[in-house]
């Protein structure tokens, strides 16, 4: 109303003065993706902080703002489901300035899915990680479609591990210092605050980071990048949580140079598909920007996502078949009739950011960011002392443990199989046997009464902590000495101290738990000092500590990480041709610092003398280099010089086509968790640690004109000298063992195609599709060293894993082994309709060539030859085979609409249904167990334990209703 009055006043004044201006602005607002007109977009013309005029686009996206004085204006374009855009307009000589096409970037629907759909796969604690890549890229047709449609099958772009995807926040690299994993869960639930981001693909260099070979995403995260206004949304979905409430408010940049933004959310409830998985997560975000002048800008951000969520677990196919449900989750059980999950992720890791931007001229700008992450990150699990394994799907509880059709397995009791089968097939009648039996834990703990009348808990719920103190400094600059050259560069430093420990989360009806090593007791029961998790306490008090709720126990150590780096990139433009050349160099170092002296590996005392316990001098064990194996104190420091170089070439053809290519070489340090043999117990490092060498190249062609968007890419990458450490129980050693694998090489090559093309038959209807066809395979046979956890005894040292890369069968057939956990062929084809703020998408997807994660132990001669040390063709094929998942077809459907009410309020919804065909047999990941059956009749071969799988949910939906003003 106010604007109308102003407008009328202006008109009346103009008439009065009889000097009506003749200038103006016109154009067409279009969707950048698809080039379709955007109807009802709101245009506001500003001059400084003053609003001069407003308009709304017509059905064909056109607009006209007439009668403007000559001058410079800012045109602000807003439309539901699009990012707000500002363009500068100069009106000269009384002409109507034709802006032609003003393109808006659509807000990505994938962001509404919630990053938690990815965080839920984080099972690193169990030695298994299966995080997919999150694809962003509002201006990239491939990422637009694949990012949304492929998320449910744990698609990894180009087959790369998720940790290769660099994720930045306010210019600071946020990938986990210890594991390298992308840290989306740190801000999940803050979709509004973290919506603005910029991305690059593959080896492309961005302005804020040099990046690796799997793209870079930078989330701005500051106040001025949060959409102005008050917004609220309610979301419900059937695979994660029932309810998400979210609200945000942002002032935009105010006249006084300040901008404030706030975002809060809550995610609550269970879901339709996986029992025990639930959310009780909250999130808050507050940010302020102060623009002092054109040169100086300061930003502050503080946010956290405190909360908890229940986790899912993988099971064997036998279990899924018995219960008739591939979504069975063994993590939960009833307590007092209520569902309780044993595996709960509890996090509260606030992040504080201060960012300074310096823009002294149009040719130079720089920024510096300090970021501090701290808080708690816990993951609960069951722990037990000298008690039966409480996992319902423990292999001894399953029918296959009692009977197997193969007589060599020596499992012959069909009666027991029948009983077990009966229980599992009627799991609803036997919840205490087919799910965790919480009540029993209380029953057991309540009767373990000691001489003092206290009950010693046999079962507890522990909370494994990975608490980070992560301090980062990053500075970048951009210098444009001429229109033909742009120099970007930066410095970064990271100091990370992560404390790994566990604490008692719940004594489950008991009064205390005793801090001793259950595994050590099996071998050294008669030597009490060896059982001690905290030998210093034992030496002081003469007994192991009795611990209560909240007390630390088990292990406690720091992972210390230091990273320092610098990078520089030059981009040079010569007409339609441009090239960029850059490099980075860095120093990465890490070490372990044990905070507990463990009885198994006490090392030497502070003065370098042997430890004396109970009157006995403990002879230390020694590493190969002669140093003492110890659990306490600082380990050797592993340092790596890292470096990388990139070359990019780009040629623009006629304004609508672009051909570009990138090549890069990367020499990266391994991560902390890839090189310590058993960080929970000692300082020992694996031998032969070296940097990971990656060479990556891609060639791309992009077409964008007349509503047609196409991008094709061919890529080729080799990754050499990777390592990893696994810990698992080894039946052959009857001991918990560590397997250190060194020298894993792989090759990833393939093509990506993404397109969106108008049908030309039905207006506003486009055909869209993507194809990601790759071949991600292993190219080397690594070596493996196995040590026993209780003694540091080396069982196998640098033995080859000769069937890792492939298996040559006696008939000459070569069975290649592949990089697992992502479909190597993924395709999507669909229709997209977009008109008058309606959008309707329908897609059919195909996923194929997905493989199960391999266990190296099964690919050693030791396992393949069997106990009789005789190699047979049957053993070779059986033991080394890698499972390929069945291909899958999926159908997804989305619909959405938003309404602009009085050009002031916006109400909208989006509703999508995934997996319309209700296909419940799509394996999305899994892993082979390390264990083998050795108690056979023939004693001629070993048998593998069944692998464990994750499945995709059947038909599922998400409904989001939002209101903005």
Partner 1 sequence: MKKILIALAAFAALVSCQSLKEEWQPVFTFGDNEPAEMKIWTEGDLSKYGFAGSFTTIKEMKQQYKKKTALENRMTSGHTITENVWIKGQVVSDDKSGNLYREIYLQDETGGIDLKLGKSSLYSDYKLGQWVYVKCQNLCIGAYNGMPQLGLEPDNTTTNEYETSYIDIQEIINTHVFRGAYDSPVAPKAVSESEISASIQAGFYGDLWGTLVTVKGLTYGDEIFALLYPHGILAHKKDNPYNRIFLSEAGTWGIDTWSMSKAKYVEYIEAGNFDKAVVGSGATKYGDILSKPRDYASQMGESVIAAFGPDADITYKEMMIKYATANYVSHYFKMGSTNVQVRSSGYAKFADTKLDSRILGGSKVDITGILTIYDGSAQMSLVTAPDDADNPSVKIN
Q: Binder to partner 1 among 47, 335, 536, 718 (CB under 8 A)?
A: 335
- What's the CA gap between 945 and 419, in Å, rounded? 21
CB 889 within 8 A of CB 873: no
Q: Binder to partner 1 among 82, 442, 632, 847 (CB under 8 A)?
A: 442
| Stretch 848-907 residues interacting with partner 1 (CB under 8 A) | 865, 867-870, 901, 905, 907
Q: Binder to partner 1 among 294, 422, 797, 886 (CB under 8 A)?
A: 422
797 binds partner 1 (CB under 8 A): no
- The set of residues, in sequence order, having a beta carbon less than 8 Å from that of 761 and lying 6+ positions away, is none
Under DSSP, the state recorded for 201 is -
Q: Binder to partner 1 among 26, 290, 296, 416 (CB under 8 A)?
A: 416
Q: Least Å distance between CB 340 and partner 1?
A: 4
Q: Binder to partner 1 among 30, 134, 178, 344 (CB under 8 A)?
A: 344
- Count interface residues toward partner 1 (CB under 8 A): 74
Nearer of residues 424 and 558 to partner 1, judged by Cβ: 424
501 binds partner 1 (CB under 8 A): no
| Stretch 85-114 residues interacting with partner 1 (CB under 8 A) | none
290 binds partner 1 (CB under 8 A): no
Beta bridge partners of 29: 102
Q: Binder to partner 1 among 280, 549, 775, 884 (CB under 8 A)?
A: 280
Q: Least Å distance between CB 189 and partner 1?
A: 16
Q: Binder to partner 1 among 55, 250, 444, 826 (CB under 8 A)?
A: 444
Nearer of residues 240 and 753 to partner 1, judged by Cβ: 240
- What's the CA gap between 239 and 242, in Å, rounded? 8
- The set of residues, in sequence order, having a beta carbon less than 8 Å from that of 18 and lying 6+ positions away, is none
- The set of residues, in sequence order, having a beta carbon less than 8 Å from that of 861 and lying 6+ positions away, is 799, 800, 802
Q: Least Å distance between CB 873 and partner 1?
A: 18
405 binds partner 1 (CB under 8 A): no
Q: Quick one: tokens of 589?
A: 């170092």
Q: Quick one: tokens of 245?
A: 């409430």
Percentages helix, strand, coil for the chain (3-state, rounded to 5) are 15, 50, 35
| Stretch 353-392 residues interacting with partner 1 (CB under 8 A) | 386-388
Which residues of 759-810 form beta strands (DSSP E)?
A: 765-778, 783-788, 794-800, 806-808
276 binds partner 1 (CB under 8 A): yes
Nearer of residues 309 and 747 to partner 1, judged by Cβ: 309
Q: Residue 862, class by beta-carbon neighbours within 10 Å (0-12 exposed, 13-18 middle, 19+ buried)?
A: buried
Q: Least Å distance between CB 208 and partner 1?
A: 38
Backbone angles phi, psi at 657, to 5 degrees: -125, 150
Q: Binder to partner 1 among 49, 230, 447, 637 (CB under 8 A)?
A: 447
CB 593 within 8 A of CB 635: yes
522 binds partner 1 (CB under 8 A): yes
Which span sits near partner 1 by CB under 8 A: 136-144, 159-167, 417-425, 798-806?
417-425
Q: Binder to partner 1 among 413, 813, 816, 921 (CB under 8 A)?
A: 413
Which span sits near partner 1 by CB under 8 A: 282-290, 413-421, 481-489, 597-605?
413-421
| Stretch 911-950 residues interacting with partner 1 (CB under 8 A) | 934, 937, 939
323 binds partner 1 (CB under 8 A): no
Q: Quick one: tokens of 278?
A: 């639930």
734 binds partner 1 (CB under 8 A): yes
Q: Quick one: tokens of 353?
A: 């950011």
Under DSSP, the state recorded for 142 is H
Which span sits near partner 1 by CB under 8 A: 110-118, 395-403, 565-573, 687-695?
395-403
Q: Quick one: tokens of 828?
A: 């999507």
| Stretch 454-483 residues interacting with partner 1 (CB under 8 A) | 458
| Stretch 28-67 residues interacting with partner 1 (CB under 8 A) | none
340 binds partner 1 (CB under 8 A): yes
101: helix, coil or strand?
Answer: strand
* Residue located via tokens 């502070």: 606
Which residues of 376-445 form beta strands (DSSP E)?
A: 376-384
Q: Binder to partner 1 among 218, 341, 642, 737 (CB under 8 A)?
A: 341
Q: Least Å distance between CB 946 and partner 1?
A: 19
CA distances (Å), origin 653, targets 663, 704, 710, 711, 861: 21, 11, 14, 14, 56
Q: Least Å distance between CB 680 and partner 1?
A: 22
CA 442 from chain centre, in angstroms, equals: 36
CA distances (Å), origin 65, targets 56, 285, 876, 889: 9, 37, 76, 50
CB 781 within 8 A of CB 802: yes
Q: Binder to partner 1 among 67, 318, 499, 523 (CB under 8 A)?
A: 523
Nearer of residues 345 and 592 to partner 1, judged by Cβ: 345
Which span sits near partner 1 by CB under 8 A: 18-26, 206-214, 435-443, 491-499?
435-443
CB 814 within 8 A of CB 806: yes
- What's the CA gap between 604 and 608, in Å, rounded? 5
| Stretch 122-141 residues interacting with partner 1 (CB under 8 A) | none
Which span sits near partner 1 by CB under 8 A: 254-262, 432-440, 656-664, 829-837?
432-440
> 25: phi > 0 → left, psi -120 to 50 → alpha, else beta; which?
beta
Q: Binder to partner 1 among 10, 54, 234, 881 (CB under 8 A)?
A: 234
Nearer of residues 361 and 734 to partner 1, judged by Cβ: 734
Q: Quick one: tokens of 258?
A: 């300040």
CB 331 within 8 A of CB 319: no
339 binds partner 1 (CB under 8 A): yes
Nearer of residues 273 and 553 to partner 1, judged by Cβ: 273
Which span sits near partner 1 by CB under 8 A: 39-47, 239-247, 596-604, 842-850?
239-247
686 binds partner 1 (CB under 8 A): no
Nearer of residues 12 and 937 to partner 1, judged by Cβ: 937
Q: Quick one: tokens of 655?
A: 């304004």
Q: Least Å distance between CB 306 and partner 1?
A: 13
* Residue located via tokens 């600071």: 172
Binding mask 294-313 for partner 1 (x = CB under 8 A): --------------x-x---
- The set of residues, in sequence order, having a beta carbon less than 8 Å from that of 328 and lying 6+ positions away, is 315, 319, 320
Q: Binder to partner 1 among 26, 242, 897, 920 (CB under 8 A)?
A: 242
What sign for the dihedral angle of Cα 361, 367, 368, 374?
positive
Residues in the chain: 965
Which span sits near partner 1 by CB under 8 A: 27-35, 88-96, 156-164, 442-450?
442-450
Nearer of residues 343 and 584 to partner 1, judged by Cβ: 343
Under DSSP, the state recorded for 791 is T
Q: Residue 904, class by beta-carbon neighbours within 10 Å (0-12 exposed, 13-18 middle, 19+ buried)?
A: exposed
């Amino acid at each position: 109303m106010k604007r109308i009055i102003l407008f009328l006043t202006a008109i009346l004044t103009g008439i009065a003065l009889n000097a009506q201006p003749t200038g103006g602005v016109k154009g067409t607002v279009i969707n950048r993706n698809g080039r379709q007109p955007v109807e009802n977009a709101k245009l506001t013309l500003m001059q400084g902080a003053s609003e001069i005029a407003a308009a709304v686009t017509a059905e064909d996206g056109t607009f006209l703002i007439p009668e403007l004085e000559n001058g410079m204006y800012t045109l602000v374009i807003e439309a539901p489901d699009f990012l707000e855009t500002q363009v500068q307009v100069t009106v000269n000589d009384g002409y109507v300035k034709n802006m032609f096409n003003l393109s808006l970037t659509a807000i990505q629907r994938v962001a509404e899915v919630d990053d938690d759909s990815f965080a839920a796969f984080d099972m690193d604690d169990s030695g298994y990680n299966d995080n997919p890549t999150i694809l962003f890229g509002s201006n990239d047709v491939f990422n637009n479609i694949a990012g949304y449609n492929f998320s449910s099958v744990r698609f990894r772009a180009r087959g790369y591990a998720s940790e290769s995807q660099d994720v930045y926040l306010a210019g600071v690299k946020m990938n986990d210092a210890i594991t390298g994993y992308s840290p989306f869960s740190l801000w999940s639930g803050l979709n509004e605050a973290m919506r603005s981001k910029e991305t690059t693909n593959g080896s492309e260099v961005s302005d804020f980071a040099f990046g690796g070979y799997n793209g870079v995403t930078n989330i701005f995260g500051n106040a001025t990048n949060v959409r102005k206004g008050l917004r609220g949304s309610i979301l419900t979905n059937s695979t994660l949580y029932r309810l998400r409430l979210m609200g945000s408010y942002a002032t935009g940049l105010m006249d006084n140079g300040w901008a404030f933004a706030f975002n809060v959310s809550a995610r609550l409830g269970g879901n339709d598909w996986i029992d025990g998985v639930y959310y009780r997560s909250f999130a808050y975000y507050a940010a302020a920007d102060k623009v002092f002048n054109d040169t100086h800008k300061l930003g502050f951000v503080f946010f956290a996502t405190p909360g908890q969520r229940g986790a899912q677990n993988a099971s064997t196919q036998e279990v899924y078949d018995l219960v008739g449900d591939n979504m069975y989750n063994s993590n939960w059980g009833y307590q007092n009739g209520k569902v309780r999950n044993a595996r709960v992720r509890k996090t509260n890791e606030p992040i504080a950011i201060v960012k300074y931007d310096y823009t002294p001229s149009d040719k130079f700008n720089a920024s510096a960011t300090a970021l501090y992450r701290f808080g708690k990150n816990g993951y609960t699990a069951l722990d037990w002392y000298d008690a039966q394994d409480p996992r319902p799907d423990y292999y001894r509880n399953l029918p296959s443990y009692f009977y197997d059709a193969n007589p060599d397995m020596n499992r012959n009791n069909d009666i027991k199989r029948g009983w077990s089968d009966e229980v599992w097939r009627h799991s609803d009648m036997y919840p205490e046997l087919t799910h965790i039996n919480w009540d029993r834990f209380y029953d057991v703990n309540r009767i373990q009464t000691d001489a003092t009348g206290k009950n010693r808990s046999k079962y507890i719920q522990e909370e494994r902590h990975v608490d980070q103190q992560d301090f980062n400094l990053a500075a970048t600059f951009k210098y444009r000495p001429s229109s033909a050259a742009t120099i970007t560069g930066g410095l970064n430093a990271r100091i990370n101290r992560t404390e790994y420990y566990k604490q008692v989360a719940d004594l489950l009806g008991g009064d205390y738990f005793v801090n001793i090593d259950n595994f050590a007791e099996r071998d050294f029961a008669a030597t009490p000092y060896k059982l001690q998790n905290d030998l210093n306490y034992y030496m002081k008090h003469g007994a192991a500590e009795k611990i209560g709720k909240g007390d630390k126990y088990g292990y406690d150590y720091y992972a210390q990480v230091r990273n320092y780096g610098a990078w520089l990139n030059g981009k040079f433009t010569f007409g339609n041709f441009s090239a960029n050349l850059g490099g980075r160099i860095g120093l990465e170092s890490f070490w372990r610092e044990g905070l507990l002296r463990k009885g198994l590996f006490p090392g030497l005392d502070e003065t370098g003398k042997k430890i004396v316990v109970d009157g006995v001098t403990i002879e230390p064990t020694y590493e190969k280099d002669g140093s003492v194996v110890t659990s306490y104190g600082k380990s050797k420091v592993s340092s790596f010089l890292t470096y990388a170089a990139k070359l990019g070439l780009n040629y623009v053809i006629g304004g609508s086509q672009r051909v570009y290519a990138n090549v890069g070489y990367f020499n990266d340090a391994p991560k902390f968790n890839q090189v310590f043999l058993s960080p929970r117990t000692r300082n020992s490092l694996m031998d032969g640690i070296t940097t990971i060498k990656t060479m990556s190249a891609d060639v791309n062609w992009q077409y964008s004109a007349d509503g047609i968007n196409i991008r094709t890419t061919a890529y080729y990458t080799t990754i050499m000298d990777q390592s990893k450490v696994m810990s698992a129980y080894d039946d052959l050693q009857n001991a918990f063992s560590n397997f250190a694998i060194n020298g894993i090489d792989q090759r990833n090559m393939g093509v990506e195609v993404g397109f969106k093309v108008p049908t030309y038959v039905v207006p506003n209807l486009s055909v869209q599709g993507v194809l990601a066809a790759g071949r991600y395979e292993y190219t080397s046979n690594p070596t493996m060293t196995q040590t026993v956890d209780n003694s540091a005894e080396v069982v196998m040292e640098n033995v080859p894993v000769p069937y890792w890369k492939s298996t040559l069968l006696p008939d000459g057939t070569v069975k290649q082994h592949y990089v697992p956990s992502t479909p190597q062929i993924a395709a999507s084809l669909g229709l997209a309709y977009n008109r008058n703020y309606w959008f309707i998408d329908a897609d059919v997807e195909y996923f194929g060539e997905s493989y199960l994660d391999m266990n190296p132990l099964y690919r050693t001669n030791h396992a393949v030859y069997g106990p009789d040390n005789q190699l047979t063709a049957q053993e070779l094929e059986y033991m080394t085979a890698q499972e390929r998942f069945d291909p899958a077809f999926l159908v997804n459907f989305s619909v959405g609409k938003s309404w602009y009410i009085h050009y002031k309020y916006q109400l909208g919804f989006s509703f999508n249904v995934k997996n319309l065909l209700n296909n419940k047999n799509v394996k999305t990941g899994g892993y082979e167990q390390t264990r083998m059956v050795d108690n056979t009749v023939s004693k001629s071969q070993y048998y593998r334990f069944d692998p464990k799988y994750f499945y995709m949910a059947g038909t599922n939906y998400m409904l989001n209703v939002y209101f903005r003003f």
